[in-house]
Amino acid sequence: MTTTKTTNTITAARYCCSCFLNANTHHHHGNNRKRSKRGRRTLASFTSDTTTTTTTTNAPLRIVSWNVNGLRGTMKKHPHFVKDLYEKTRFDILCVQETKMQEGNVGEMVAVIEDDEDENDDDKGPGGLHHNQNDQLAAYFSCSTARKGYSGVAMITRPDVKFTSKPREGFHQRALDEADFEKTEENLEAFHLFNREGRVMTCELEKAVIINTYVPNSGEGLKRLRERIEVWEPAMKAHVSCLREDMMKEEEEKAIVWVGDFNVAHEKRDLWGNWTQNETSAGFTPEERLAFSNQLKDLRLTDSFRYRHPTADDKFTYWSYRAKSRERNRGWRIDYALVSDTMKENIKDAFIVSDFLGSDHCPLGVELRV
């Protein structure tokens, strides 16, 4: 994972995974991957950090986001979820939150996905994940080093989606200096802890910057509310602002697409009911909702689903496992795809895949002309 002030980046080979490592970890390079009995690659080492070039296609970019609430558990409930979700959404980039993965477990997850694809080697093309037999998915994981089986984000990309710079985990390297919070010992500790929990991954394409986040839950008794509002929110504002500053220096104009589980129902219609009672519950406090409003305003971002579906009601992305909440549609819309205000007219579609099972959240996505 990251050190306290810098970001770590490692590229990954097709269908291999890049686990972001501690800065003191030795990075292996080369092609000495072991092969399974079936002759396929299993993760044994990392490839070199050669930066790839981006695709020249003019097709809209489709980004899907899903909190899987434990990748292993989702694989057990829905073992072919990557293939099935692709067939349903035709994603270019799949952003996953709350993987709960550890570095040592990542290889087996990649192997499971690879097995899923190998079963369909004879059915590639428009209905499959590959353009041809040699094209493979790439997966990138950021795992929590602060606590085992906790948090974590990942990106899974189609073979024709390539980066202009390597995926990065954690806050931008200038975020701590630029974040508008008091640099007390307690706040600095919270900042560094967030940075070690595998909550942020950023990648850059030729025309877009994609940010995948798992926003901290304020927790039972709102025990992390102060840290979330006073440290996390300013840190993420600084993160996005620094990315914009970098683009200005390079004289580049790119869309910012920020997706993930934001752990807040922004408006009353983003929560099924019991609004007054839930104002003291994590995810619907006045502080969290105001902070989300301020991020949209200050960072000039648009909620893509509300932009495309301004009158939609009873559209949620999370349902508690209790009291048959999903069957009764007693849910929360706490997962979002935010897009730069300057690009909102390029939002071709924004959608929620409420019938896709495997987690207490469902996937959502945005299609953007870039």
Q: Mind telling me the catalytic residues?
A: 214, 261, 361
- Secondary structure letter of residue 361 according to DSSP: B
Partners of 155 in beta bridges:
95, 140
Q: Which residues are annotated as a binding site?
A: 67, 98, 261, 263, 360-361
Helices and strands, number each (H, E), in the chain? 10, 15
CA distance 257 to 192: 24
Which amino acid belongs to residue 209?
A: V
Q: Which residues are annotated as a binding site for Mg(2+)?
A: 67, 98, 261, 263, 360-361
- 3-state DSSP call for residue 336? strand
Checking DSSP bridges between strand 61-67 and strand 364-368, what pairing results, if any? Answer: antiparallel
Closest CA to 247 of 348, 338, 165: 165
Partners of 351 in beta bridges:
365
Closest CA to 99 of 81, 84, 120: 81
CA distance 182 to 239: 17
Closest CA to 363 of 89, 5, 178, 106: 89
Length of the chain: 370
Question: Could you tell me the two tokens for 281?
Answer: 């519950």
